[in-house]
Amino acid sequence: MRGGLCLVCNEPTCRECFHDLKEQVCKNCKLQALKYLSGEQIRVGDTVKFGDCLGKIVFVIPSKEYSKDYSEADWSYLKVGFGIETEEYGLVHQVEPDEELYFIKHEK
């Protein structure tokens, strides 16, 4: 039985493939979506607290989001995770969010 199209990858998929029918997102995309421990999706431009400092999310590899200063060509080789730009540490690559990363706000 067809479930429709995934809202993330726009690929046809069966109803059993949907992880969450409310969101209409297939299991593959759901597994790739990175979220803060508080539940918000990690997006380029987000302001975050990382340890004791403030930072900005500059790329998110699974969703293929890259800021103008951090291109896909330069950073996709990492294959997983996301990048945080901070004054204190420079660029930090994280494979997944942890308790040191706090979401503050999405960029408008």
Looking at residue 9, its pLDDT comes to: 66
Distance, in Å, from the CA atom of 84 to the CA atom of 61, rounded to the nearest integer, reads 12
In a domain, 8, yes or no: yes
Does the global pTM surpass 0.85?
no
Tell me the pLDDT tens digit for each residue of 25-80: 566 665 567 899 999 999 999 999 999 999 999 999 988 999 999 999 999 999 88
66-91 pLDDT, tens digit each: 999 999 999 999 988 999 999 999 99
pLDDT higher than 50, residue 21 = no
Does any domain span residue 19? yes
Is 89 found in the same domain as 62? Answer: yes
**Domain that residue 22 falls in:** 2-32
Question: Closest by alpha carbon to 108, among 26, 46, 35, 28?
Answer: 46
pLDDT at position 80: 86
CB distance 51 to 87 below 8 Å: no
Q: Are the C-beta atoms of 61 and 76 separated by less than 8 Å? A: yes
User: Same structural domain for residues 28 and 58?
Assistant: no
Whether 22 and 61 map to the same domain: the answer is no
* 40 domain-assigned: no
User: How many separate domains does the chain show?
Assistant: 2
- Same domain? For 25 and 51 the reply is no
Q: Hey, what are 37's tokens?
A: 């421990």
